[in-house]
A and B are shown apart, each in its own frame.
Chain A
Amino acid sequence: MARNVTTGRKTINTLASWSIGLLIFFPILWTILTSFKTEAQAISDPPLFLFFDWTLENYTVVQERSNYMRFLWNSVIIAGGSTILGIIIAVPAAWSMAFVPSKRTKDILLWMLSTKMLPAVGVLYPMYLLFIKMGLLDTRIGLVIVLMLINMPIIVWMLYTYFREIPGEILEASRMDGASLRDEIIYVLTPMALPGIASTLLLNFILAWNEAFWTLNLTAVNAAPLTAFIASYSSPEGLFFAKLSAASTMAIAPILLLGWFSQKQLVRGLTFGAVK
């Protein structure tokens, strides 16, 4: 709705939007600021905004205490692995539903989504047993599989909505041109749907990164990702706001940066095809 408005109106809009934006962002900003304070400054009343002695000490302490890099690496492997595996399985499925729809396509889609509504806690113990039986407990591969299954419905749905925007005639053209099904998907469909696939990838990477039920309950030490890293800071030990902030910042920074750089892509993906 591009329209000419008066500068006054625009100023008011800007002020209002920025204030609300900053208010929403404030907890994150405050966490980041606090991570650079000393513990005493972190709890000072009135709170200190910018004028304090900036220090990196908290970061060193946190790294020494709990080997941040290992958790980070686990997070990357688990989130990345589950997303990529999920997409590899979901692309063919979404192709089927988008280009060879049957009467049951919509039912299958909704059924897939409904599996996401199964309360994880309802099957926690069986999963626990199965994981022990198969030697998957506290392994990265185990979590990759579980998170892949959890996010599969969303991946399929997102890809389906992106694929449906691609005209079927183009795929038919590739068939006439002698492309096999594999060629059709690799050389024609995937490149055309690349923006959609990218935002599916991103969103599910973020969802997997932040998943905090299975990652907390199926890991102990070896495969524990950043969700577990931060959970270990949930019991206070003396003055700890600054260290908590440093740990929090370390846990969210990678995904926050990724999210900021790709937010345009991501928002389109978030709409799940509801908005054309």
Chain B
Amino acid sequence: MATQHSRSAARLMLAPAVVLLLGWMLVPLTMTLYFSFKKYLPLRGDTISGGLDWVGFENYSRFIGSSAFWPSVQATLLIVGSVLVITLVLGVLLALLLDQPMWGQGIVRILVISPFFVMPTVSALVWKNMFMDPVNGILAHLWNFFGAEPVQWLSQASMESIILIVSWQWLPFATLILLTAIQSLDSEQLEASEMDGAPILKRFWFIILPHMSRAMAVVILIQTIFLLSIFAEIFVTTGGAFGTKTLTYLIFQRVLESQNIGLGSAGGVYAIILANIVAIFLMRIVGKNLDK
């Protein structure tokens, strides 16, 4: 419903955002693709102006053939999957609780949302040192108090620790979106189902949960976007050791630590492919949910 005037205006006004994003996507991507077929080790004197050797798919086969590759993909998916499950399940429970009448709900909301504001580097550092330090950390004190042997969190339970830290950061987001969704539920609908004699669990399952599906789709979408690329949490805590090397981190090491640009770029292309696979899945789910 619009005129030719407004349609052409619309195209014009959409253009800057689209062009910028297209450039942001295509320019570095093309370069990454180019480097991924080249031997490029700046520390050994390779320069772009001096010309780089074409190595075909060697970088690709080396990257995928390295013993670190599959574990890194697994680690990535494990972190994303676990955090999603934890934040969604706890988020739903917490949202149901916070929706109940209570005193000081506003303050509780502030308490719960706070971790979302903490920058990832800070939360990683705080957890690593003040909570997970095997000697002086709070958790060590707590274990001692109960007479247990303190856990070497970041080496013995490295994956669990990282999942814990990241879940702590994202639980507020999930909780508050789901809480808003519950609060927007028409109370007449619930009352009607109560009149129909639906017991509390059924009401949750058939009315509250479906009502939250849109909000859940958004939680999954947004969190996946951010979780696929978590970096600071690993950079600061384990540095990729003890089985916590995600694909992102592996590539980071290839590019920055070993300065093997060709190999890192091939890894980058793999990461992009992985992200796209996840994205296609997500967009299917979310696109359907956003249609309404």
Stretch in B50-58, B153-161, B181-189 with 4+ CB within 8 Å of A: B181-189
Whether, in the assembled complex, B119 has its beta carbon less than 8 Å from a beta carbon of chain A, the answer is: yes
Cβ–Cβ < 8 Å partners of A206 in chain B: 116-117
Q: Which residues of B are found within 8 Å of A3, using beta-carbon distances? A: 101
Cβ B100 vs Cβ A13 within 8 A: yes
Closest chain A residue, CB of each to CB of B9: A181
Decide: A21 and B112 in contact? CB cutoff 8 A. yes
| Interface: A38 (CB within 8 A) | no
A97 contacts across to B, CB distance below 8 A: 14
Are A24 and B172 closer than 8 Å at their CB atoms? Answer: yes
Residues of B within 8 A of A127 (CB): 28
Q: Known contacts A10-B101, A127-B28: does B261 contact A27 (CB below 8 Å)?
A: no
Specify which chain A residues have a CB less than 8 angstroms from the CB of B108 in the assembled complex: 17-18, 21
Please judge, given known A-B contacts A13-B97, A92-B16, whether A117 and B228 are in contact too, CB under 8 Å: yes
Binds B, one of A40-48, A55-63, A191-199: A40-48
Residue A231 CB within 8 A of the other chain: yes
A45 is contacted by which of B16, B141, B232, B275 (Cβ under 8 Å)? B141
Given known A46-B145, A275-B215, contact A122–B32 (CB-CB < 8 A): yes
With CB as the reference atom, state the residue of chain A lying closest to B116. A259
Whether A152 lies near B265 (C-beta < 8 A) is no
> Given A93-B16, A206-B117, does the pair A244, B255 have CB atoms closer than 8 Å?
no
- Would you give the shortest CB distance from B118 to chain A, in whole angstroms? 5
A162 within 8 A of B: no
B176 contact set on A, CB distance < 8 A: 267, 270
A93 to B12, CA, bound (A): 9
Contact B98 A119 (CB under 8 A): no
A139-174 vs B: 1/0 string, CB under 8 Å?
000000000010011001000000000001000000
Query: Which of B113, B136, B145, B278 is A259 in contact with, Cβ under 8 Å?
Result: B113
Using a Cβ–Cβ cut-off of 8 Å, how many residues does chain B contribute to the interface with A? Answer: 114
- Which residues of chain B (18-76) have a CB below 8 Å from chain A? 18, 20-21, 24-25, 27-29, 31-32, 35, 48
Q: Is the pair A212, B13 in contact by a Cβ cutoff of 8 Å?
A: no
Could you say which of B121, B122, B215, B267 has the most chain A C-beta atoms within 10 Å of its C-beta? B122
Q: B residues within 8 A CB of A10?
A: 100-103
- Contact indicator B35/A210 (Cβ below 8 Å): no
Q: Quick one: which of A7-58 are within 8 Å of B by CB?
A: 9-10, 13-14, 16-18, 20-22, 24-25, 27-28, 30-31, 34, 43, 45-47
Asked if B94 lies at the interface with its beta carbon under 8 angstroms from chain A, I say yes
Q: Which residues of A contact B14 (CB under 8 A)?
A: 92-93, 96-97, 108
Q: Check A118–B25 contact: CB distance below 8 A.
A: yes
On whether the beta carbons of B120 and A212 are closer than 8 Å, the reply is: yes
Q: CB within 8 A of A93: which of B17, B119, B278?
A: B17
A41 → chain B, closest Cβ, in Å? 12
Which of chain A's residues has its CB closest to B93's CB?
A20
CB nearest to A175 among chain B residues: B6
Among A216, A231, A245, the most chain B Cβ lie within 10 Å of the Cβ of A231
Q: Kindly state the separation between the CA atoms of A226 and B231 in the bound complex, as whole angstroms.
A: 16
In the complex, B125 has a CB within 8 A of chain A: yes
Task: Find the B residue at minimum CB distance from A120.
Answer: B229
Complex contacts, B101 vs chain A, CB 8 Å: 2-3, 5, 9-10, 13
Is A24's CB under 8 angstroms from B31's CB?
no
* Most chain B C-beta atoms within 10 Å of own C-beta, residue among A9, A17, A25: A17
Residues of B within 8 A of A84 (CB): none
Q: Of the candidates B97, B118, B249, which one forms a contact with A252 in the assembled complex, judged by CB atoms under 8 Å apart?
A: B118
The answer to whether B201 has its CB under 8 Å from any CB of chain A is: no
Q: How far is the CA of A41 from the CA of B274 in the complex (A)?
A: 47
Q: Per-position contact with B for A78-115: 1 when CB-CB < 8 Å, else 0?
A: 00000000000110110111011010001010101111
* B236 CB–A CB distance under 8 Å: yes
In the bound complex, residues from chain A placing their C-beta under 8 Å from that of B10 are: 95-96, 99-100, 102
Q: Does residue A219 face the partner (Cβ distance < 8 Å to B)? A: no
Q: For residue B233, which residue of chain A has the nearest CB? A: A212
- Contact string against A for B residues 245-284, beta-carbon threshold 8 Å, 1 for contact and 0 otherwise: 0011101100110000100110111011011101100010
Question: Once bound together, how far apart are the Cα atoms of A51 and B99, in whole Å?
Answer: 35
Beyond A13-B101, A122-B32, whether A251 also contacts B24 by CB under 8 A is: no
Q: Does A220 contact B (CB under 8 A)?
A: no
Whether B152 sits at the interface, judged by CB under 8 Å, is: no
- Whether the Cβ atoms of B215 and A274 lie closer than 8 Å is yes
Top 5 closest pairs, chain A to chain B, by CB:
A122-B268, A92-B13, A123-B28, A126-B31, A21-B111
Query: Can you list 24 A-B contacts with CB-CB less than 8 angstroms, sorted by A residue number?
Result: A13-B101, A17-B97, A18-B108, A21-B111, A24-B172, A27-B123, A28-B114, A92-B17, A93-B18, A96-B10, A100-B9, A119-B268, A119-B272, A120-B248, A121-B255, A123-B32, A124-B255, A124-B256, A227-B232, A230-B121, A231-B121, A236-B129, A251-B119, A274-B215
- Residues of A that sit less than 8 Å from B by CB: 1-3, 5, 9-10, 13-14, 16-18, 20-22, 24-25, 27-28, 30-31, 34, 43, 45-47, 89-90, 92-93, 95-97, 99-100, 102, 106, 108, 110, 112-127, 129-130, 149, 152-153, 156, 168, 181, 206, 209-210, 212-213, 216-217, 226-227, 230-231, 233-234, 236, 240-241, 244-245, 248, 251-252, 255-256, 258-260, 263, 266-268, 270-272, 274-276
